Amino acid sequence: MFTVFWLMQLDGIKKYMQFRHVDPDMQDRVFKWASFMWEGKKFRDSERDLEILPVPLRRVIAQAAHMDTFQRVKLFDDCEPQFLEELIMRLELQVFSPGDLICRKGDVGREMYVTRTGTLQVVSDEGQVFASLGQGSVFGEISLLSSFTKQENRRTANIRSFSYSELFSLSSANFKEVLENFPLARRKMIAKSRELLKDRTTDMSEVVHNDAEDDDELAFKVEKLQELAQDIVLLIETFTKTIIEDTTKLKRRLAVLERRRHHPGHPSRKPKLILFAQTPV
């Protein structure tokens, strides 16, 4: 099923390029990319194959594959494992061809990348190679901090794919969504943004941080937890009282049955003496 669908898509792309008179060099790049995807069976979404598994198992697999890499990222130092697990579950796979520019210096950054396979190069505008990045390399994490600044974070370097490369990306939108459920991690990210952005030209007065809002949010959640705890205590007290009363009644009933068993001819209780008032004659 996947094979037929893939071949139909590839044939459609080929006809489109021929109809639009796409440059032969570009057509060659497309066909080489298709060959790479076909030979590596990457036309199948390996992540989607895991959807048949229950969510807990998918989390364990994703954690085993990426947790070590995420823990080495300076931005995520000392973050709670549950927070990192949620980030890992939102990674999206992307494939780049040789020569593809993944990041361009000066462009607005909206995601961070984790290199799964392949080789990347940090290059100048003229193409001079400054450094190479391999499997497990992480870059672009500063772009995730854009929600804490009044200006958009821009890329500080050009990064080009030297070979066919597979990268996992985490968008700033998904990052922000996860932070909404982890207020403590959010506070840490704000503090770390101050440290990391000191090494750049960003004016630290532009870092948006409202301690009062964070404190109010935390106080609200604490208040809700306290109310919930009080309700639970009241419920336990009511439940305990009911159990005690029912147990007492049950003991009394068992005592009556026990007396009847040992003394079947005698009533279990003393007959009540009924006095009738005499009517004067």
pLDDT digits (tens, 9 = 90+) for 135-156: 888 888 888 877 676 666 788 8
Packing angle, helices 81-88 and 55-71, rounded to 10: 110
Residues 6+ apart with CB under 8 A from 188: 78, 79
pLDDT at 108: 86
**Average predicted confidence (pLDDT) for the chain:** 77
Higher-scoring residue by pLDDT: 264, 209: 264
Taking 50 as the threshold, does the pLDDT of residue 237 lie above it?
Answer: yes
Strand partners, 101: 160
CA atoms within 13 Å, Cβ hemisphere of 270: 3
pTM value is 0.57
**First vs last Cα of the chain: how many Å apart?**
110
Higher-scoring residue by pLDDT: 70, 158: 158
Give, in degrees to the nearest 5, the angle at Cα 99 between 94 and 101.
60
Taking 80 as the threshold, does the pLDDT of residue 162 lie above it?
Answer: yes
Most confidently modeled range among 26-40, 105-119, 185-199: 105-119
Taking 60 as the threshold, does the pLDDT of residue 205 lie above it?
Answer: no
Taking 80 as the threshold, does the pLDDT of residue 192 lie above it?
Answer: no
**How sure is the predictor about 210, in pLDDT bands with cuts at 50, 70 and 90?**
very low
Taking 90 as the threshold, does the pLDDT of residue 123 lie above it?
Answer: yes
Taking 50 as the threshold, does the pLDDT of residue 35 lie above it?
Answer: yes
Identify which of 60, 53, 155, 54 has the alpha carbon closest to the alpha carbon of residue 113.
155
* Backbone φ and ψ of 256, nearest 5°: -65, -45
Q: Which residue has the tokens 């499997």?
A: 135
Distances (CA, A) of 251 to 226, 245, 262, 270: 37, 10, 17, 19
Higher-scoring residue by pLDDT: 273, 48: 48
pLDDT at 203: 43
